[in-house]
């Protein structure tokens, strides 16, 4: 068990580096609301600190860099009719995601094991993203009635071909080679070599010492994903059925129809965005409403609370309801001016 008195994040300065280490290995380093706030505060503190030349983000334990957001409190709040708990968590998490993406100093992320959802929101927006042999990167949110958030639609929209749509609908996992090909990572380096590189970065404060090894092959690069160019979810499913693509259809049949329909619209919309903040604002419109008008409560119940893996999806997945989920929030919109 994790020590309940141990800090969830280890934040310190070592040499020329600001160091942030996830410290909840037994919980697969799940990102809590307080961790998102503390991580953002550390970045703000080091922004103009002349002693900090770069920031290193890593994690304790072999199994996960960060397997996602710690959404138990969001679930309990939504179940009790208190939707503000989730809204506050997602808002503060997204502000932190944008701070990483726009940080004026290099941010180096070492992403072993599971890197999912909220973990992608931290590591996936770093300027130097390092993966190893154990790395498993995914945006599986449609399985819990959410959408690829934390800037996930921004990253997915920039993946080659139809990889963005494929990963949105299936929640498929990427090893190191696929993550590099899809633009979710920059360097492959065997994990045994990470400690020496971290020590060098701390000593020099320079990213020139980051040299990746030969990148592994990507299975995604060779897959025919043309079916995911269909105009909507129904058309994509029909094309996959005609092609007999049961491996791709299996997760699609399991995931929330509303989440997939909305995710498809959002990834395609993000292709026109000029900055990550635009994608995060669109994601926030969905997650702001997710506990009240989406499949999130049922998805978390089935996958995380009861673990029966048998969600009864009930949310309307029509284009009209997707538009409702993505409609502007008025005074509740994410405010990027205040965030500065």
Residue 66 lies in a domain: yes
Total structural domains in the chain?
Answer: 1
Residue 238 lies in a domain: yes
Report the first-to-last Cα separation within the chain, whole angstroms.
38
Residue 287 lies in a domain: yes
Which token pair is 179?
């993550």
For tokens 């509303």, name the residue. 258
- Active-site residue, selected from the candidate residues 70, 141, 178, 283: 141
Residue 117 lies in a domain: yes
The tens digit of pLDDT for each residue in 70-102 reads 999 999 999 999 999 999 999 999 999 999 999
State the pLDDT at residue 338.
60
Structural domain boundaries, residue 150: 9-339
SS3 content of the chain, % helix, strand, coil (to 5): 50, 10, 35
What pTM did the predictor assign?
Answer: 0.96
Residue 103 lies in a domain: yes
Residue 2 lies in a domain: no
Annotation marks residue 141 as catalytic: yes
Residue 171 lies in a domain: yes
CATH of residue 298's domain is: 3.90.226.10
- Active-site residue, selected from the candidate residues 8, 70, 149, 178: 149
Annotation marks residue 118 as catalytic: yes
The tens digit of pLDDT for each residue in 284-304 reads 999 999 999 999 999 999 999
Residues composing the chain: 340
Contact 60, 25 (CB under 8 A): yes
pLDDT at 329 over 70: yes
Residue 3 lies in a domain: no
- Active-site residue, selected from the candidate residues 68, 113, 118, 175: 118
- Active-site residue, selected from the candidate residues 8, 18, 68, 69: 69
């Amino acid at each position: 068990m994790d020590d309940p008195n141990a800090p969830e994040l280890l934040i310190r300065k070592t040499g020329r580096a600001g160091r942030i280490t996830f410290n909840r290995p037994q919980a697969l380093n799940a990102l809590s609301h307080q961790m998102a706030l503390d991580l953002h505060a550390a970045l703000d503190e080091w922004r103009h600190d002349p002693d900090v030349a770069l920031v290193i983000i890593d994690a304790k334990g072999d199994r996960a860099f960060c397997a996602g957001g710690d959404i138990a409190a969001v679930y309990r709040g939504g179940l009790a009719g208190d939707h503000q708990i989730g809204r506050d968590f997602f808002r503060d998490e997204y502000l932190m995601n944008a701070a990483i993406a726009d940080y004026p100093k290099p941010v180096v992320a070492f992403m072993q094991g599971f890197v999912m959802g909220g973990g992608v929101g931290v590591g996936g927006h770093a300027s130097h993203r390092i993966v190893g042999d154990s790395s498993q990167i995914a945006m599986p949110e449609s399985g819990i009635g959410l959408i690829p958030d934390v800037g996930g639609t921004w990253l997915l929209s920039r993946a080659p071909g139809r990889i963005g749509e494929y990963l949105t609908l299936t929640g498929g996992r990427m090893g190191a080679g696929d993550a590099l090909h899809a633009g979710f990572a920059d360097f492959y380096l065997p994990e045994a070599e990470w400690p020496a590189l971290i020590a060098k970065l701390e000593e020099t404060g320079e990213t020139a010492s980051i040299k990746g090894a030969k990148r592994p092959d990507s299975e995604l690069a060779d897959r025919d994903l043309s079916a995911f160019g269909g105009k909507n979810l129904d058309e994509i499913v029909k094309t996959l059925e005609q092609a007999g693509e049961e491996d791709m259809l299996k997760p699609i049949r399991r995931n929330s129809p509303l989440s997939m329909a909305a995710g498809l619209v959002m990834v395609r919309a993000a292709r026109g965005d000029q900055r990550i903040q635009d994608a995060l604002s669109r994601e926030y419109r969905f997650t702001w409403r997710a506990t009240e008008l989406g499949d999130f409560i049922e998805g978390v119940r089935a996958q995380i609370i009861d673990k029966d893996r048998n969600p009864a999806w009930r949310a309307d997945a029509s284009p009209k309801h997707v538009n409702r989920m993505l409609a502007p929030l008025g005074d509740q919109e994410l405010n990027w001016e205040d965030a500065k």
